[in-house]
Structure 1
Amino acid sequence: MEENQEGAQEEQFEQPKEELIRVTGMYKDWFLDYASYVILERAVPAIEDGFKPVQRRIMHSMKDLDDGRYNKVANIVGHTMQYHPHGDASIGDAMVQIGQKDILIDTQGNWGNILTGDRAAAPRYIEARLSKFALEVLFNPKLTEWQLSYDGRKNEPVNLPVKFPMLLAQGAEGIAVGLSTRVLPHNFNELIDASIKHLRGKRFKLFPDFPTGGEADITDYNDGMRGGRVRVRAKISQYDKNTLAITEIPYGTTTTSLIDSILKANDKGKIKIKRIEDNTAAEVEILIHLPTNISPDKTIDALFAFTQCENSISPLGCVIIDNKPVFLGVSEILRRSTDHTLHLLKRELEISLDELEEQWHFSSLERIFIENRIYRDIEEEETWEGVIRAIDEGLKPHIKHLKRAVTEEDIVRLTEIRIKRISKFDIDKAQQKIEALEDQIAKVKHHLDNLVDFAVAYFEKLKKDYGKGKERKTELRLFEDIEATKVVIRNTKLYVNRKEGFVGTALKKDEYVTDCSDIDDVICFTADGKMMVTKVDSKTFIGKDIIHVAIFKKKDKRTIYNMIYRDGKGGSTYIKRFAVTSVTRDREYDLTQGKKDSKVMYFSSNPNGEAEVVTVFLRQVGSIRKVKFDMDFADILIKGRNVKGNIVTKYSVKRIELKEEGVSTLKPRRIWFDETVNRLNVDGRGELLGEFKGEDRLLIITQDGVAKTIVPELTTRFDEEMVILEKWNPKKPVSAIYWEPEKERYYVKRFLIEHPEKEEKFISDHEKSFLEVVSTDYYPMAEIVYGKQRGKDQRPNEELNIEEFIAIKGIKAQGNQLTTEKVKQINLLDPMPFEEEDENDEEEQEMQEDEATLDEKRRPEKLKDENKDSLSSSSESQTKLFDE
């Protein structure tokens, strides 16, 4: 009993054996099936027609319902659900996206706004029908390949026979499993032009065109393939002195998201604005009001740097070819689309030819049948077979000219002709019809023999019929690179505790250094000859005895540091000049030779490469005779920060004092103007404007007759209406000829810019007044072309020496009347020669003479002469005196 009970208990508590089920195979199959479905049936468009399945089904449903009138979108969505195995929301969203592109769907009602991001009204409130363009290029049941819908109840197209590069016109975006696609939209007319060029064997280039307008830099577009990039910007202009206007927005943004990004940048202190005013309706108008003393030019650059006013788009051309995803560039997509259009046009012509030849064949048979009264041969026949045989026998003598054999179907059709038609048969009309068909057949054959010309004519007709109003919206241009640190608003203050060695924005009880931003870098020097660059933070330890703190500018070759240091305890004293153009952040650099107890005896930072004169005092030790001498930093070459430097003295230095403020040893800065980006630069791009010192200015004259001078800052933005940009010479007059509408005469004036800080208009304030010609030559010449006058001979052209015609007067003077005759045109000619004294050469010669004289007086005995050829560097110097 006990044994049986124990056995039962063992059976009761015996665990069932675990069975291992591997899901690897199932996971692999299911995931691949899902991935294939999403790629092929949801996210990626087909190369043949450029549609995703849902878009293709919407177009097919709209064609089913098309009767020329508008249909409720809700009705179209419901009808599409017969073909599309997904919810109505996805169909409705896809349809709204197609409708907003304004190519295939003629919309009615509130379809949303791509500028503001407002959604469309509910499907029951809006209506749609196919556009005329869609009806012409999308459909042809005779060319369409059909397949059963998902439930087997309906036939749907595998692909629509689209005779246009629709994918490139609309663009496409989709995220599948493991891949995505992003084909950017292109201009309608440019696509047609490119298709025509391809058909004719010519090269073409395609660039995106966005419905929101704006500006685009397509330098790195890479034909829309993987790795490419398009930079897009809002169109921003200066509305008035303290207001900026955004009139076009970048693709992929809305006015709402754009304004939010501007407000966030303002809250973070990256930019400073007073308020934003959104007046967007049919067109974008966002007004940004700026506080006083805020530069509009820098604010525009800051908007590009810190807000959605500039975005970067990465295109990726992925399409379905033969049920596989393939990555293609937009040029290859257009070539394939155009070749496909050529094939479809050929098939249409072949089908049309077959139909015309069939009509010609039956019309000829009908004429033979009636004209030769063959229908009488069937009167005595009693059977259907006999009727067919009798007609066939009756036709045989007359059908030698036919292009194909007569079939039983042809004879059956002849028997179906009504008696009424036979009795009213007109042989002449029948012959005319046959001849008309022959003309049409010849025309179609001609098109088939000249298929490329036919396709070109087809594209040209599309452009003529539908290209109006589809001009390019996005302006293509090169963008200048904006350095965020140069345009960010200085929104906080930097402090330093020199003794303890801390810098930061939270040390408000310590010494104030400068205004800064939270993205700035700070450069610091300590008394033991160490240097460090670190990011602005609330509190950062640098090292004790900080001697200099400033905002660090990368690639700054004009800020020169002058330094005298002692090499270790009791070592020699060295002098060096160097620039710091690039460093590793938070790394400590030793500017001495690394010996213990090295010490900086003198240090100055010179933003324009100034070279001061200092007096070195030596300790009276031993037999030293000369305990005081001068050092001129202008004698020292500017080298790298790691350079050892030149020996000042081997004796112990007591102190070093500043004797004379320095002048810049750098050459005047050469500035160029790059027309492609409308910006100044110092990199040699574009037209050289000249060499500029600190007080030099630029002269700007615009087409609306405004003259002004500005300090040449690299962040300055220039108006498209600018007609003159050059280095300003205060002694050089401006000559202008302008139209005075109130007196209906041209006036001539010459003037000097008397108030450089002031922007002044030098033509009439009348709205119809305009500047005809303007020159800054000393002796400008102009040609006057006179118009014809009734009753008078044509007056010959006349040359005008403007300098002799009028003297220099004030900028507000009206000037002298040019002529009372009717003037057709005024042209500027080459000016009279004038030799201008080169003041720079004289100044340089005087400077060299002065320096040569001073060299003999200042040069110390112990200074090595390896730095004789020193050039470089400019402006205000900061000095620091250290006692040993």
Structure 2
Amino acid sequence: MNEQDFPSSEDEHTQDSANELIKISGMYQDWFLDYASYVIMERAVPALEDGFKPVQRRILHSMKDLDDGRYNKVANIVGHTMQYHPHGDASIADAIVQIGQKDLLIDTQGNWGNILTGDRAAASRYIEARLSKFALDVVFNPKTTQWQISYDGRKDEPVNLPVKFPMVLAQGAEGIAVGLSTRILPHNFLELIDASIKHLKGKRFTIYPDFPTAGIMDVSEYNDGLRGGKIRLRAKIEVLDKKTLVINEIPHGTNTSSLIDSILKANDKGKIKIKKIEDNTSSQVEILIHLPANISPDKTIDALYAFTNCEVSISPLSCVIYEDKPQFLGVSELLRKSTEHTVHLLKRELEIKLDELEEQWHFASLERIFIENRIYRDIEDQETWEAVIQAIDDGLKPFIKHLKRAVTREDIIRLTEIKIKRISKFDLDKAQQKIDALEGEIEKVKHHLANLIEYAIAHFERLKKTYGEGKERKTEIQPFENIEATKVVIRNHKLYVNRKEGFIGTSLKKEEYVTDCSDIDDIICFTENGTMMVTKVDSKTFIGKNILYVGIFKKKDKRTIYNLIYRDGKNGSSFMKRFAVTSITRNRAYSVGKDKPGTKVYYFSANPNGEAETVSVHLRQSKSIRKVKFDIDFADLAIKGRSTKGNLVTKFAIKKVELKEEGVSTLKPRKIWFDDTVKRLNVDERGELLGAFRGEDRILIITQSGIVKTIRPELTTHFEKDIIVMEKWIPKKPISAVYFDGEKERFYVKRFFVENEEREENIISDHKDSYLELISTDYIPQIEIEYTKLRGKDRKTNEVVNLKEFITVKGIKAMGNQLSAEKIKQIDVIEPIAFELEEDKAASDIEVLDEEEVNYKESDKQSQASLFDDLDED
């Protein structure tokens, strides 16, 4: 750049005086608003009437122009569409592919890409397309289409296509305009038809999205597709075996490539732990995730939902062009207005058809009068055209009183155009039959107009019957449980502590190892001077000198109980307390006492199940002290809040406190519920109460396929859908089963105990025709058998069988006893014989106990454990 490019200081004043101040507010207001309006109306937002953006509408109009029943090259369709669409060919080709992948309006041929894997479609010169039968049926009708001039003035294009279906909801739409955006999610074809029919019948309806990638969806916050709503989508993950997970369905908006990338990134960051991953996806999704040894499949599933794209959240925003302006309407309102627009189009089609039929009837009647009464002979002597017209008009007058409208000059001219050959072969009977048929059609159309709603309902029912096959819902709707990331994250770091200097962290590898942790964990620490602090995991954090305890902090944890004895101040008395820490401000120092200088902790323990130990307190020698050693049982102390001062131990100086005896839990058994909606256990009183569980208690699970197993009641467990028995397991309570043996072709009965609590067993035979008929965990179950026919005259058609008397308790692998040699029609479980053991009463008493403050003695625990010793194994 040369020096003359920069004005000198002497020239600046001259330049400023020459320049004029130009206000751009007017231009900004006009030009920017024009641009914004163009983007909103002509590019990004679909119209409610037909559900299309302009490019989609022009593509379908072009395909209709080209339609001859055969496939056309997409490149040819793109070129033809450019007559109407003033933008590049790439955007048109992309729009065609998007329409084609939705498999509704376009029949495709060739490689159109894969929405499951994210593979792109082949180039437009290699793939072909044509309009689907559904599109030809419901999208086009030039008689009801409003037309406008195309951008270059050479062609006519539709303002909106006359779509007789809620297309905007069937296809969905996404677009970013100026100042607003739209995101309408696709909905199920059959459900939209059903909802339209319900609306026409005046009934209420609810519609939810449905996606071609299937998956699982939580719609509890959908908000009818309006701003502020959201849906949560999850991949369908199943346990193939203890070391393998399989993903068969993925969330909308993802593909197998992006999903696998998110899983690998989570693995690299240590959020999850996997051995390897395989993608076997073709026409169906199949992603195999191989797990290392000792990694829980259930926890890994939750971790995949928490840290990868196996769970995504989508926020809909339902915006459409309606009445020539963008409007935010819920999906229910969109369906109502779209259905009413369909009714309007159907009415308009009927009105046009009625006009056409009446016009045909009018001319057919004129033609018959003209030929039957030989009025054509009256024109033979006429010398001028006007005389011919007048002669025909005069000849018709005696016969046209029954016509529905006056005879026009155009009618007479059409009569003159009838060929002599047609007149000579005119058949009066056929002509009358044609008129009668037209009258029947006219009455039919008038009936439809008079019963327009019924006609519209029939229209939707026809669409469902004709095109509904294979369009069932793919995305499963169910509420999701919230997954706490801290409970499912893989603890891939090691936490160390320098107790004397007061540091904790993951980088102190030369110091004392504490526990494995993750980078999202919180750590709780107690120091000798009575300071408590919760902080995030970091490489190195100062807590305070002389650290007594370091552990992972669990928010809202009421079962971890801290027992301590401390001196309140330098010369203060000593106190003891038991408390839980459920919530706290991170990085804030709290005192276990009253925050007096010189506070000292003599004894501290952290108990994950509320254990209460016995300790020995040693006092310093003094003339006024008679007893320098005594024992304290923490079980005698109630659990109170963290800020409580505690109970007085002694006013004298303590030399040391020693552990004398380990304690047992003083907490009540934990009540656990099963929520069948989300198929998960919980402690929030949702669903069916399974019972109150101590640490050693287990849950009995029996599935329809005959699998029997017991599991620990972990809240992260995922359950199969075919579970028929889920209850608290009583080890000495027999299980009774009736099953059909496919090889023997007979019903068998067996009674058994679960012999190995760590192993699952199949209680029916392996034959492909074997199946479990019924199962009972009652002590004395009874069944009623209905026979098809009996040989003996004295035998009854129905028989009641006491299973306890029928067969003794045998091994779980035993085949059992044949139920009957006769052919059985039906088997039903009936009311069992009343029988209640003392342990059942005791168990029911346990379940109604109060909160954590209830204390149990060791003797109570032992007596409860022995309740089942006297059970008769028969």
Question: Quick check: TM above 0.5?
Answer: yes
The residue identity in structure 1 corresponding to 2:253 is G
Distance 1:267 1:623 in 2: 65
- Check conservation: 2:45, 2:177, Cα contact below 8 A: yes
Shift in Å, 1:438? 0.5
Give CA deviations for 1:690-730 in whole Å, capped at 9, x if unaligned: 11111111111111111111111111111112111111111
C-alpha separation between the residues in 1 aligned to 2:51 and 2:496?
61
- Alpha carbons 1:787, 1:794 under 8 Å: kept: no
Matches of 1:791 and 1:687, distance apart in 2: 46
Q: Name the counterpart of 1:64.
A: 65
Decide which moves more: 353-362 or 586-595: 586-595
Distance 1:276 1:678 in 2: 26
Q: Secondary structure at the match of 1:390?
A: helix
Aligned to 1:881: none
What residue identity is the alignment partner of 2:184? Answer: V
Structure 1's consecutive aligned runs of 4 or more residues displaced over 3 angstroms after TM superposition are: 9-14, 788-795, 839-845, 872-875
- Give how far 1:637 is off: 2.1
Which 10-residue stretch deviates more, 790-799 or 287-296?
Answer: 790-799
What is the aligned partner in structure 1 of residue 756 from structure 2?
Answer: 755
Moved more, 616-625 or 258-267: 616-625
C-alpha distance after superposition, 1:224-265 (max 9, x if no partner): 111111100011111122111111111110001111111111
1:649 to partner: Cα distance: 2.1
Taking a change above 3 Å as real, the CA distance of residues 195 and 789 of structure 1, as seen in their structure-2 partners, is farther
Q: CA deviation at 1:204?
A: 0.1
1:212 alignment partner in structure 2: 213
Q: How does 1:120-135 map to 2 (within 5 A)?
A: 120-135=121-136
- How far apart in 2 are the matches of 1:252 and 1:22? 45
CA distance in structure 2 between the partners assigned to 1:662 and 1:783 by the alignment: 51
The answer to whether the aligner puts 1:435 opposite 2:418 as a matched pair is no
CA contact (8 A) 1:698 1:711 kept: yes
| Aligned counterparts, 1:791-802, within 5 A | 796-802=797-803
- Which residue number in structure 2 is paired with residue 507 of structure 1? 508
The match for 1:656 is 657
Cα distance in 2 for residues equivalent to 1:777 and 1:556: 36
What's 1:172 paired with?
Answer: 173
Q: Following the alignment from structure 2 to structure 1, what is the Cα–Cα distance between the partners of residues 432 and 790?
A: 65
CA contact (8 A) 2:639 2:852 kept: no
Deviations 1:289-348, CA, capped at 9 Å, x for gaps: 111111111111111111111111111100011221111110000000000000000000
Preserved CA contact (<8 Å) 2:667 2:852: no
Check if 1:787 corresponds to 2:770. no
Where structure 1 has 5 or more consecutive residues not aligned to the other structure, the ranges are: 1-8, 849-867, 876-884
Structure 1 residue 829: deviation in Å?
1.5
- Could you tell me which residue of structure 2 aligns to residue 382 of structure 1? 383
Aligned pairs for 1:402-801 (under 5 A) are 402-788=403-789, 796-801=797-802
Structure 2 counterpart of 1:24: 25
In structure 2, the partner of 1:871 is 854
What amino acid is the match of 2:810? K
The higher relative CO (CA closer than 8 Å, separation ≥ 6) is in 1
**1:788: Cα distance to partner?**
4.9
SS at match of 2:810: coil
Letter in 1 for 2:254: T
**Shift in Å at residue 781 of structure 1?**
1.1
Alpha-carbon distance in structure 2 between the residues aligned to 1:796 and 1:588: 79
> For residues 161 and 844 of structure 1, do their structure 2 counterparts lie closer, same or farther at Cα, with a shift above 3 Å needed?
closer
| In 2: Cα distance, 1:264 partner to 1:623 partner | 68
Output aligned runs, 1:22-421, within 5 Å.
22-421=23-422
Structure 1 residue 794: deviation in Å? 10
Q: SS in structure 1 opposite 2:548?
A: strand
Distance 1:840 1:587, change over 3 A: farther
Unaligned runs of 5+ in 2: 1-7, 859-874
- Structure 2 counterpart SS, 1:125: coil
What is the Cα deviation at residue 15 of structure 1? 2.7
Measured at CA, do residues 637 and 435 of structure 1 come closer, stay the same or move farther in structure 2, by a change above 3 Å?
same
> More displaced, 816-825 or 17-26?
17-26
SS at match of 2:207: coil
Shift of 1:13: 9.7
1:15 — aligned with what? 14
Amino acid of the residue matched to residue 487 of structure 1? V
Q: Hey, what's the Cα distance between the residues in 2 that align with 1:225 and 1:190?
A: 19
Counterpart position of 1:829: 830
CA deviations on 1:799-857 (whole Å, 9 max, x unpaired) are 12111111111111111111122222222112111112136739999xx9xxxxxxxxx
CA distance in 2: counterparts of 1:60 and 1:791, whole angstroms: 78
Q: Give the 3 Å change call, closer, same or farther, for CA 167–554 of structure 1 in structure 2.
A: same
Residue matched to 1:819: 820
**C-alpha spacing 1:400/1:178, structure 2 compared with 1 (3 Å):** same
Moved more, 779-788 or 809-818: 779-788
Shift of 1:151: 0.4
Cα distance in 2, alignment partners of residues 792 and 235 from structure 1:
56
The 2-side partners of 1:621 and 1:398 are apart by: 140
Residue aligned with 2:441, SS: helix
* TM-score, normalised relative to structure 2: 0.94
Partner SS, residue 638 of structure 1: coil
Separation in 1 of the partners of 2:71 and 2:247?
Answer: 36
Q: Distance in 2 between matches of 1:247 and 1:531?
A: 47
Q: In 2, Cα distance between the equivalents of 1:656 and 1:28? A: 81
Whole-Å Cα distance in 2 between the matches of residues 493 and 457 of structure 1? Answer: 68
Q: Structure 1 residues 135, 788: closer, same or farther in 2, change over 3 A?
A: farther
Deviation larger for 195-204 or 689-698: 689-698
Q: 1:860: which partner in 2? A: none
CA distance in 2, matches of 1:644, 1:59: 79
Contact 1:751/1:810 (<8 A) preserved: yes
Which amino acid in 2 is paired with 1:344? L
Question: How far does residue 27 in structure 1 lie from its aligned partner after superposition?
Answer: 2.7
Alpha-carbon distance in 2 for matches of 1:377, 1:349: 39
Deviation at 1:277, TM superposition (A): 1.2
CA distance, structure 2, for counterparts of residue 513 and residue 810 of structure 1: 46
CA contact (8 A) 1:746 1:818 kept: yes
Which residue is equivalent to 2:869? Answer: none
Alpha carbons of 1:41 and 1:765: their partners in 2 closer, same or farther (altered >3 Å)?
A: same
Deviation at 1:630, TM superposition (A): 2.5
The TM-score, its normalising length taken from structure 1, stands at 0.93
User: What SS does the aligned partner of 1:499 have?
Assistant: coil
2:14 aligned partner, one-letter code: Q
Give the CA deviation at 1:111: 0.5
Separation of aligned partners in 1, 2:253 and 2:104:
19
CA distance in 1, matches of 2:298, 2:845: 35
Count of residues in Structure 1 that have an aligned counterpart in Structure 2:
846
* Cα displacement (A) at 1:650: 2.1
Q: State the shift of 1:621 in Å.
A: 2.9
- Name whichever of 175-184 and 191-200 sits farther off: 175-184
Describe the shift of the 1:712–1:842 C-alpha distance in structure 2 as closer, same or farther (beyond 3 A). closer
- Percent identity over the alignment? 73
More displaced, 820-829 or 790-799? 790-799
CA distance in 1, matches of 2:852, 2:393: 113
Per-residue CA deviation, residues 9-43 of structure 1 (Å, 9 max, x unaligned), is 99999733243223232233222222111111111
Measured against aligned partners, the alpha-carbon deviations of 1:51-75 in whole angstroms (never above 9, x if no partner) come to 0000000000000000111100000
- When residues 13 and 368 of structure 1 are mapped into structure 2, their CA distance, relative to the original with a 3 A threshold, is closer
Secondary structure of 2:631's match? strand
Give, in whole Å, the separation in 1 of the partners of 2:377 and 2:490. 103
- Contact 1:318-1:327 at 8 Å conserved across structures: yes
| Residues in 1 aligned to 2:99 and 2:308: alpha-carbon distance in whole angstroms | 29
Q: 2: distance between equivalents of 1:817 and 1:14?
A: 114
Change (3 A) 1:418 1:442: same
User: Following the alignment from structure 1 to structure 2, what is the Cα–Cα distance between the partners of residues 639 and 137?
Assistant: 71
Alignment check: 8 A CA contact 2:789 2:797 kept? no
**Structure 1 175/781 Cα, relative in aligned 2: closer, same or farther at 3 Å?**
same
